[in-house]
Structure 1
Amino acid sequence: MRTSRSRASRAPEARDGAAAGPGRAPEVLVLLCSVAAALATVAQPVVLGRTLDLLLRDGDAAPWLALSAALLVGELLLDSLTALFTGRCNATWTAHVRARALTGLLDAVPDRARPFSPGDVGTRLTLNATDAGGAPAARAALAASLVTPLGALVALALVDPWVAACVCAGLPALALVLRTFARDTGASVAAYQRTQSRIASALLEALDGTATIGAAGTGKRERARILAPLAELAVQGRHMWALHGRALARSGVLVPLLTLVATGVAGLRLAAGDLSVGELLAAGRYAQLTAGVGGAASLLGAIVRGRAARDRTRELERLPALAHGTERLPPAGTGELELRAVRVVRDGREVLRADHLRVPGGSTVAVVGRGGAGKSVLAAVAGRLIDPDEGQVLLDGVRLDRLTREALRTEVAFAFERPVLGEGTIADAVASGARRASADEVERAACAAGAHGFVRRLPHGYDTPLTGAPLSGGEHQRLGLARAFAQAGRLLVLDDATSSLDTATEHEVNLALRRSVRPGTRLVIAHRPSVAARADLVIWLEAGGVRALGPHHELWHTADYRAVFAPAEATATAEATATAEGAAPVDGTATAEGMTTAEGTAPADGTAPVDGAAPTAGVGPARLPEPRPRPEEARQ
């Protein structure tokens, strides 16, 4: 079945054609100034030689002296302009390469970007982007550097063909040196950059876990792990610079040798009366300039490094992107979600299969299953973080891949296990999204997520900078929930978004989903039976497929379904016992008004306890009563 996947695969090419780069202007300016400076360099020897001959013959050398001075000053000015335009060209192209790579990464399907670690991405966007941005100016400089030896060779042939023939005899050796250098350096540079990226990735991983490393006393082991590729990097670096040094050394031997031979032949021609003193001076200088083609090795090395670096940044740039359509959702929709013949395949394995799954609009649906059952994949497909390999996903009858980006992100909101809050203040973090929430909406969303209390106790409340707010894992997660609540549309997806909350706070959040958040469809990844019990429906996933869809109290009669929650039940019971004894909840916050997190008072099928009910201790799952709705829910 044809899906939007084909359009997503064409997205990189569309971006390539649409994104306007700096153009050729910066490179052309470098090329023009470099070529002009090279022409001035080529003209100097013959002018200086003519001036010398006139001075030796007591002729009128004033005009030629003035021309010589003008050429020297002109070359100096042109070299200065070349340096200026080279810097601008490098900066412009580096910014462009970095922006394209970052845009490709941010627009990419999250699954496709996951193989790139943060350290690898950081290396590609910094070091590799800088090397790639320097390649255009290096190409222009290399082209100009060829003007000098070629122009000098032509001028030398005009001065004396025999000297030019001697120089030409040695040029193939120089060309061989450059060819060998370019061939061997490419692979060496690519290997060096890959190893460098591995070290950066390991370092960032360690920085993320500094507290754990310090507590475990594993600093030395982590240091050894991070620096393990250093020996390999050193070998690759030495090999790369050995190639560079070998090329320079060979050209350094050939250039003086060619110059010496050319000067010797010119001296013989002078003794025979075929050359003047000024022509001897010009011939010697032209021989040096012609043999100077070996100096192009450094520029060639920069181009090779830039090409390898550009290949690495282009991998980010060409990540498959989600293509968007032009349609909008019907105004009266309730958020009905439908998956038709959906298949998602990763590494040749089917990780999600939903032949016909329909979620009624306005309902709260829990998604349960063992680890690896496909819960997060279903959440990503439902909210179109990824496109299925086959099938269609519809919201209120409209295919998600046909919606505009604005319509999709305005009506579909996410809350994740580890929300990225960005920079700025707490208010900025909660208000950010497809549309910016107002101050009142921010406060209401924070109240619904159970975050208003601890935010109010911060030094500057909602204006507290995130960098100055010591947030626990649960508080961090509640701010992510608040942001999702502030942006809630027809579909709200909670992907493990309450995993760090204590049971009391999680209960408050689930009530807020029904009372305080804009009405719509709620898709909740559930690990606790109490969460599934409060949902209208449960999607039970097993091995990537939908095993059942129905109310929690009906599914609870199936032993396999109860087994899904076995680890969660044990955790919840231990947590409830600890809280009842006065221990703090998991996220480090106290429960409201000293109430106990009475997950232990709930029946084992996960139904919420009736307010004031006494704990039911030691009752096994098979002997518990049928689920009963909470009084608050019954009043709804």
Structure 2
Amino acid sequence: MDRRAADRLLLAAARRGGPWVPAMMATSLLLAGVYTVLPALMGRTVDAVLTGGHTVTWLALSIAAIVVLMVCDLLDDLVGKLAEARSTAWLRHTLLLHVLDLGIRATRRFTAGDLVGRLVGNCARTGQVASTLVWAVVDLVPPVGAVVALALIDPWLCLTFLVGLPVVLSLVRTFVRDASDINERYYEAQGRVAARLVDALAGIRTIAAAGTVDREVRRVLGPLPELRRHGAGMWQVLARVSGREALVIPLLEVAVLAVAGLQLAHGRISPGQVLAAGEYVVLATGISSLVSSASRLALARATAGRVAEVLAEPPVAYGGERLPDGPGTLEFRGVTVRGPRGTVLEDLRLTVPGGSLVAVVGRSGSGKSVLAALAGRLTDPDEGEVLLDGVPLRRLGRSVLREAVAYGFERPVLLGETFADAIAFGPRPAGAEEVARQAAAARADTFIRRLPQGYGTRPADAPISGGEAQRVGLARAFVQAGRVLVLDDVAASLDTVTEHHISQVLTGALAGRTRLVVTHRASTAARADRVVWLDGGGVRGQGTHGELWSQPAYRAAFQPDPAGAGPGADPGADAAAAAEGAA
């Protein structure tokens, strides 16, 4: 963990508490001041009773101090929670925006469950930093004030306390050091549990069908012993400090009170001052309350480090250029993409003519989905450049690029509260008429209208088949289609009739756009103006489907994959699907 980055984030979060932070500081200081003054008032009240002085006055002042103490305590809790809420909201908004800015790189570097854990639990703990810092600082006021008060009552009382103070401070320092390390490991283990749980929920049907529930429970809870060990370690550290504190502090209090008794016996201090000295030594040893503040700060620092780790990932950088008028010509110039299993595309050079329908075919693992992701900058090449109408995609503004290139995916995620929202989801606004028209073009209108609330039905309330989900995703792609429409194997779950209808839309209503279609179906390739055949990390052949069909290796690209490979083996396919929201 980069502790400097964590500390910077803690300070930034504290500042985001807004006006409630200075309000909390004011109430906390007033609270600490009253705590510091109250023992003196009580001592003067006792002396007034014993000597027949202004008893009523001192008693009234003591009661007033107690009332102020109660009111400030309530206000301090209120403004503290308000400051925490503002800080936490800023942290979550900042982290969520950054994760979305990372695009598909976010889920390559971190798992979905881990990100959820950091966004929910870690941000909440880090957001408490404003109140924790204020209380840690203000917690010093009563002990320091108490030491000064002991010196004013009698210097020997102060000297006696100061002799034992280094032992108390060493306890605090040891706790902070040990707690920080344990908390970091605890939250790392907690993140692994969250990541495995999200994976299990995503594959719940497979787990149920395979009858592996018990095995999956063991897998998800695998880090639990480690989590328990770190949690127990934290309690052990706290127990050691508390045990030593329970020994040192009472001895220190007894020593100060013994000196106070001697001074009383010699007539150097009054009975009221002995009472005040007893209260002040309790306040002075309250410096050990820094252990509690240190514990909260250590937790906040550990969680801030986990949030800062995500924020340290550089987001996708966009330029500020706009596109000139053009037909939507795509150019891949010397593009190389490397994956965890080696090079996927190497020095690829390809031009997709504007306004053409181009099918991309090849065996699983040939890089078809990677090529599709490159076309709209869902991923960037390690080398080379991708251009749209002569402009490198890196130099385009985000909104310009997203309006120009639309995507349809094999496994679309339906985002939005309703089916209408899911179809209209994207940078280009769409009214109800446009949504219904494009849904009809994707052959989704009929089954959507049969739903309980039609287009107003929530997707979560109406389970649909994979083919129906693909049609809804296609409708969204049709609504958002700009100069370029990229369809990544969207016909995988469609029946033959629906696929034929979609092909008619691509060659009819959408004929003016550049259409890049990744497909495993020969029938789709046959309807394309041109076929790009990928193999061995590059373009093995180009031409019409009829021209390429004479080659046995080309025909084999449409055959089922051998055992051990499958449609999902194409590197980048899942990442491209996960990036639908960004498109």
In the TM superposition, what whole-angstrom CA distance separates every residue of 1:22-62 from its partner, at most 9, and x where no partner exists? 25533332222212211111111122212222221111233
Q: Report deviation, 1:546.
A: 2.9
Residue 105 of structure 2 is aligned to residue 111 of structure 1 = yes
**Among candidates 379, 398, 413, match of residue 405 of structure 1:** 398
In the TM superposition, what whole-angstrom CA distance separates every residue of 1:445-475 from its partner, at most 9, and x where no partner exists? 1122221232233233222221221201111
Q: 1:186 to 1:113 in 2, by over 3 A?
A: same
Q: Report deviation, 1:290.
A: 0.8
Per the alignment, in what secondary structure is the counterpart of residue 139 of structure 2?
Answer: helix
For the 8 Å contact 1:340–1:357, the answer to whether it is kept is: yes
Q: Report deviation, 1:552.
A: 2.5
Give the equivalent residue in structure 2 for 1:513: 506
Aligned residue identity for 1:211? R
**Among candidates 516, 525, 532, match of residue 532 of structure 1:** 525
Per the alignment, in what secondary structure is the counterpart of residue 190 of structure 2?
Answer: helix
**Among candidates 40, 43, 48, match of residue 46 of structure 1:** 40
Give the equivalent residue in structure 1 for 2:278: 284
Give distance in 2, aligned partners of 1:17 and 1:180.
23
Give the equivalent residue in structure 2 for 1:458: 451
Give distance in 1, aligned partners of 2:12 and 2:59.
54
Give the equivalent residue in structure 2 for 1:566: 559
Give the equivalent residue in structure 1 for 2:343: 350
**Structure of greater Rg:** 1
**Among candidates 121, 130, 136, match of residue 124 of structure 2:** 130
Give distance in 2, aligned partners of 1:137 and 1:242.
26
Q: Report deviation, 1:20.
A: 12
Aligned residue identity for 1:393? V
In the TM superposition, what whole-angstrom CA distance separates every residue of 1:411-458 from its partner, at most 9, and x where no partner exists? 110111221112422112111210221222212211222212322332
Q: Report deviation, 1:347.
A: 4.8
Give the equivalent residue in structure 2 for 1:379: 372
RMSD: 2.4
Q: Report deviation, 1:554.
A: 2.6
In the TM superposition, what whole-angstrom CA distance separates every residue of 1:67-91 from its partner, at most 9, and x where no partner exists? 2222222222111111011111111
In the TM superposition, what whole-angstrom CA distance separates every residue of 1:167-186 from its partner, at most 9, and x where no partner exists? 11111111111111111111
For the 8 Å contact 2:13–2:90, the answer to whether it is kept is: no
**Among candidates 52, 75, 87, match of residue 93 of structure 1:** 87
Between 1:225-234 and 1:465-474, the stretch displaced more is 225-234
Segments of 5+ residues of structure 2 without an aligned counterpart are 1-8, 564-583
Give distance in 2, aligned partners of 1:247 and 1:19.
29
Residue 35 of structure 2 is aligned to residue 22 of structure 1 = no
Give distance in 1, aligned partners of 2:348 and 2:312.
31
Residue 135 of structure 2 is aligned to residue 141 of structure 1 = yes
For the 8 Å contact 1:152–1:286, the answer to whether it is kept is: yes
Per the alignment, in what secondary structure is the counterpart of residue 385 of structure 1?
Answer: coil
Residue 498 of structure 2 is aligned to residue 523 of structure 1 = no
Give distance in 2, aligned partners of 1:249 and 1:393.
66
Q: Report deviation, 1:227.
A: 2.1
TM-score (norm 2): 0.90
In the TM superposition, what whole-angstrom CA distance separates every residue of 1:288-330 from its partner, at most 9, and x where no partner exists? 1111111221221111111111111223333322222222222
In the TM superposition, what whole-angstrom CA distance separates every residue of 1:122-176 from its partner, at most 9, and x where no partner exists? 2111111111111221111101101111111111111111111111111111111
Aligned residue identity for 2:374? V
Aligned residue identity for 1:128? N
Q: 1:208 to 1:113 in 2, by over 3 A?
A: closer
Alignment of 1:163-312 (within 5 A): 163-312=157-306
Per the alignment, in what secondary structure is the counterpart of residue 353 of structure 1?
Answer: strand
Give the equivalent residue in structure 1 for 2:5: none
**Among candidates 476, 479, 483, match of residue 486 of structure 1:** 479
Give distance in 2, aligned partners of 1:299 and 1:513.
64
Give the equivalent residue in structure 1 for 2:568: none
In the TM superposition, what whole-angstrom CA distance separates every residue of 1:541-564 from its partner, at most 9, and x where no partner exists? 234333333333333333332332
Give distance in 1, aligned partners of 2:11 and 2:236.
40
Q: Which has the higher contact order (CA 8 A, sep 6+)?
A: 2
Give distance in 2, aligned partners of 1:486 and 1:254.
73
Quote the sequence identity (%).
47
Aligned residue identity for 2:37? A
For the 8 Å contact 1:437–1:486, the answer to whether it is kept is: yes
For the 8 Å contact 1:170–1:258, the answer to whether it is kept is: yes
Residue 82 of structure 2 is aligned to residue 80 of structure 1 = no
Give distance in 2, aligned partners of 1:569 and 1:528.
17
For the 8 Å contact 2:355–2:511, the answer to whether it is kept is: no
Between 1:505-514 and 1:557-566, the stretch displaced more is 557-566
Q: What is the number of residues matched between the two proteins?
A: 555
Between 1:342-351 and 1:477-486, the stretch displaced more is 342-351
Give distance in 1, aligned partners of 2:159 and 2:181.
36
Q: Report deviation, 1:359.
A: 0.8
Where do 4+ consecutive residues of structure 1 move more than 4 Å? 15-21
Q: 1:38 to 1:348 in 2, by over 3 A?
A: farther
Between 1:22-31 and 1:73-82, the stretch displaced more is 22-31
Aligned residue identity for 1:218? T
Give distance in 2, aligned partners of 1:56 and 1:216.
84
